[in-house]
């Protein structure tokens, strides 16, 4: 135990064994010595240091680690009282909550970027909020958690009242072979680069500000504030309080994001306001920065890391996008996030433009309008191909540049930012030997900072202690590389070194006449049609009603319906034991159609009536999770079983534009009534099929929940003997 920690004990009260027992009971607020024995605390231990180390690591009456509770109550304040420059407190390999959140400084500064996106002849300034310990005024240097959050300064909600229409027929495109080199974005300076820096007219030590309500900022950062890490927030270009014009996924978005990190490292200027040019420096910062956040916030942490910016030591992307094409497109299909059909990059850009709606500058509004028109042209909704617009927004091609460690967090039931993003990112990180770990939970598009049975905060504390403070706590060895939550029991986590782990074996399921056969005894699929399966992509006879968008009824018919003409379905016999699918799911087959354009989809399902684990959460411990000294609490939550049994669960699905069977870059010619070979991956997953259920494979046309919804009818003929389903399974 640290000698400074030990000195905080009243040594005059530790002379006899009875003194120690009495003192420990007072510290823990217990009355009965038997309780301590039940906790494995040996009160007869002669070494005070060993005894109190055990006591401090134990769980107290409040259900929390004793040492942390004592820190929050000021028990260890003596450690910094005599020091000229205050320091953090480390115990058990992690940062401890000795800094009072209520006494933190709040600053607002304006970081100068290298861009002039709004055309006013000056470099754009972006507004940045900072919370740091008051102890930094005494010379203490601390690292920072930085969150780039375009939603933070409010958003234009009305933008999504007028989304792009998906109820339209597909266009046919002539075949024109394109190479990746033809669409690859060249590395060069932004066209908005501005050479001239502002001239500083003075310097301020601080830039104190009043507290403001920031949207989409979790309370979780308080947990690390009280442990000696500052938090830094910015909404960036084109948002309220900042200058410039934003553009989702662009090169300029990367540049404004890393500008804040560069300022924290003393390599860029910042000012106290937008006008006076009074400079303020980040002298309080050690130069070590972490980035994190969910969704767009986590996406920008990946974007920043791929620049290799100095000072960024680690990122924790949660439910984050690794390639914007994979968010809005898939294999040439307009494939939106579930429940967000009609969304696209131009709408998200407009949604985040809080500056435009708070600024009456006519010329600025013209620039906004022009930039949106350029985005719509670049994203090419009529085509759906991967092009230079999307290549600029593909972070995966730059993973080799990352110098930071990466801790991925993603929900296996996230159909907003699909697990495609974290799987592709994970594989690239492993390819380039970048220090990385991953947590896959059973939620959808959520944070898991307060999840029952999984001490996420303790893991993250050890992670950031190591990467931001160089505390040698063996986190790289003691925390598994991969942690996957079970869909059968929320308290069970599979731990391994890779995803999928070595336990999962490659299996190919093939339709052989009437059967889908493998060698794991997931037995034959019942199929009464002939070897050529026929189905018609006709949305208006599939049970889907466009006006009311009855997705659930449509899906029920797709999976459970009898003699449905808009799909073919194969079902295994009842499983004799649990089977788990992990990682990528790939399907390949040959099919013909009566048209020269169309969409093909595949869905993997578990069929069988039972109550399954849902993404719904309930509070299991009100205020159970402390965020630190004077920082408040969070409720503990857990996933719950469905209220009533469900007859099936969609495991995963995938899609392809039949003109993109060779490449996502271009459209190939489709010859009607001729068989063509199709191969595509479904969304990666990990899912355990329960004994007594059946595995189902559905092949169909348009997916009314995700793809474009054409009005025309397309008849498909499937060569059932060509169907191959590739899984990793155990």
Task: List the catalytic residue out of 118, 344, 414, 703.
Answer: 414
Output the six-digit token pair for 203.
Answer: 């310097």
Task: List the catalytic residue out of 410, 421, 441, 445.
Answer: 445
Output the six-digit token pair for 262.
Answer: 């560069």
Rg (CA), the chain: 28
Task: Please tell me the distance from the alpha carbon of residue 725 to that of residue 653, in angstroms, as a whole number.
Answer: 12
Cis bond before residue 218 (omega within 30° of 0): no
Q: Is 445 tagged catalytic? A: yes
Output the six-digit token pair for 542.
Answer: 């599939």
Task: Please tell me the distance from the alpha carbon of residue 321 to that of residue 557, in angstroms, as a whole number.
Answer: 32
Task: List the catalytic residue out of 114, 207, 295, 301.
Answer: 295
Q: How long a stretch of residues is the chain?
A: 730
For 63, the 3-state DSSP assignment is: coil
Would you give the end-to-end CA distance of the chain in angstroms?
A: 45
Best CA proximity match to 564, nearest among 574, 556, 572: 556
Write the DSSP assignment of 483-544 as a string of letters: EEE-SS-TT-EEEESSSS-TT-EEEEEEEETTEEE-SSS--PPP--S-SEEEEEE-GGGTT-
- Per-residue buried b or exposed e for 320-357, using 16+ beta carbons within 10 Å of the residue's own CB: bbbbbbbbbbbbbbbbbbbebbbbbbbbbbbbbbbbbb
Contact between 652 and 615 under an 8 Å Cβ cutoff? The reply is no
Q: Is 414 tagged catalytic? A: yes
The DSSP 8-state label assigned to residue 519 in this structure reads S
The dihedral sign for the CA sequence 283, 284, 287, 292: negative
HSE-CB of 157 using CA atoms within 13 angstroms: 1
Torsion angle, CA of 533/534/535/537, rounded to 10 degrees? 120
- Find how far residue 208's CA is from the centre of its chain: 32
Task: Please tell me the distance from the alpha carbon of residue 303 to that of residue 305, in angstroms, as a whole number.
Answer: 6
For 297, the 3-state DSSP assignment is: helix
**Hey, how many other C-beta atoms are within 10 angstroms of the C-beta on 458?**
14
Task: Please tell me the distance from the alpha carbon of residue 175 to that of residue 195, in angstroms, as a whole number.
Answer: 44
**Hey, how many other C-beta atoms are within 10 angstroms of the C-beta on 552?**
9
Catalytic residue annotation: 295, 414, 445
């Amino acid at each position: 135990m640290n000698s400074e920690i030990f000195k905080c004990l009243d040594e005059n009260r530790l002379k006899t064994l009875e003194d120690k027992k009495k003192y420990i009971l007072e510290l823990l607020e217990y009355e009965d010595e038997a309780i301590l024995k039940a906790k494995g605390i040996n009160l007869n231990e002669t070494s005070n240091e060993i005894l109190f180390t055990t006591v401090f690591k134990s769980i107290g009456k409040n259900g929390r680690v004793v040492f942390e509770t004592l820190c929050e109550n000021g028990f260890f304040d003596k450690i910094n009282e005599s020091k000229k420059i205050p320091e953090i407190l480390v115990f058990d390999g992690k940062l401890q909550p000795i800094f009072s959140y209520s006494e933190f400084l709040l600053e607002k500064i304006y970081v100068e970027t290298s861009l002039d996106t709004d055309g006013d002849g000056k470099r754009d300034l972006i507004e940045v909020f900072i919370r740091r310990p008051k102890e930094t005024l005494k010379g203490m240097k601390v690292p920072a958690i930085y969150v780039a959050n375009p939603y933070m300064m409010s958003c234009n909600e009305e933008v999504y009242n007028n989304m792009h229409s998906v109820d339209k027929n597909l266009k046919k495109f002539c075949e024109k072979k394109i190479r990746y080199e033809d669409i690859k974005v060249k590395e060069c300076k932004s066209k908005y680069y501005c050479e001239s820096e502002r001239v500083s007219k003075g310097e301020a030590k601080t830039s104190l500000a009043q507290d403001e309500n920031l949207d989409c900022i979790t309370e979780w950062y308080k947990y690390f504030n009280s442990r000696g890490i500052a938090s830094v927030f910015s909404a960036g270009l084109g948002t309220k309080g900042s200058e410039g014009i934003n553009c989702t996924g662009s090169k300029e978005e990367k540049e404004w994001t890393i500008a804040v990190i560069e300022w924290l490292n003393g390599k860029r200027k910042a000012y106290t306001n937008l006008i006076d040019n009074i400079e303020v420096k980040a002298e309080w910062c050690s130069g070590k920065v972490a980035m994190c956040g969910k969704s767009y916030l986590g996406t920008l942490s990946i974007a920043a890391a791929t620049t290799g910016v100095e000072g960024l030591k680690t990122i924790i992307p949660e439910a984050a996008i690794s390639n914007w094409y994979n968010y809005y497109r898939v294999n040439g299909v307009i494939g939106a996030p579930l429940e967000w059909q009609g969304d696209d990059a131009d709408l998200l850009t407009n949604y985040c433009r809080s500056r435009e709606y708070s600024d009456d500058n006519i010329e600025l509004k013209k620039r906004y309008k022009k930039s949106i028109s350029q985005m719509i042209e670049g994203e090419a909704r009529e085509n759906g191909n991967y092009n230079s617009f999307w290549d600029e927004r593909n972070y995966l091609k730059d993973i080799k540049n990352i110098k930071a460690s990466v801790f991925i967090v993603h929900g296996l039931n996230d159909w907003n930012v699909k697990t495609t993003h974290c799987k592709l990112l994970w594989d690239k990180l492993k390819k380039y030997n970048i220090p990385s770990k991953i947590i896959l939970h059973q939620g959808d598009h959520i944070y898991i900072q307060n999840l029952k049975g999984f001490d996420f905060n303790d893991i993250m504390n050890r992670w950031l202690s190591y990467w931001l403070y160089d505390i040698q706590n063996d986190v790289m060895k003691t925390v598994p590389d991969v942690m996957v939550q079970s869909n059968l029991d929320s308290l069970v986590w599979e731990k391994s070194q890779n995803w999928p782990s070595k336990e999962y074996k490659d299996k190919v399921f093939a339709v052989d006449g009437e059967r889908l056969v493998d060698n794991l005894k997931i037995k034959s699929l019942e199929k009464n049609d002939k070897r050529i399966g026929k189905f018609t992509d006709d949305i208006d006879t599939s049970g889907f009603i466009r006006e009311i968008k009855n997705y659930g009824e449509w899906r029920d018919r797709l999976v459970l319906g009898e003699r449905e003409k808009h799909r073919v379905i194969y079902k295994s016999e009842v499983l004799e034991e649990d089977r788990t699918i992990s990682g990528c799911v790939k399907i390949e087959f040959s099919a013909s159609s009566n048209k020269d354009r169309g969409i093909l989809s595949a869905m993997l399902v578990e069929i069988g009536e039972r109550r399954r684990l849902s993404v719904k959460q309930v509070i299991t411990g009100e205020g159970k999770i402390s965020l630190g000294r004077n920082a408040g609490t969070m409720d503990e939550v857990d996933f719950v079983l469905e209220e009533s049994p469900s007859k099936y669960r969609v495991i995963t699905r995938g899609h392809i534009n039949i003109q993109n069977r060779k490449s996502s870059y271009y459209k190939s010619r489709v010859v009607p009534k001729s068989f063509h070979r199709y191969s595509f991956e479904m969304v990666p997953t990990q899912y355990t099929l329960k004994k007594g259920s059946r595995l189902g494979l559905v092949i169909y046309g348009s997916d009314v929940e995700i793809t474009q919804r054409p009005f025309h009818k397309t008849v498909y003929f499937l060569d059932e003997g060509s169907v191959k389903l590739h899984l990793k399974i155990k």
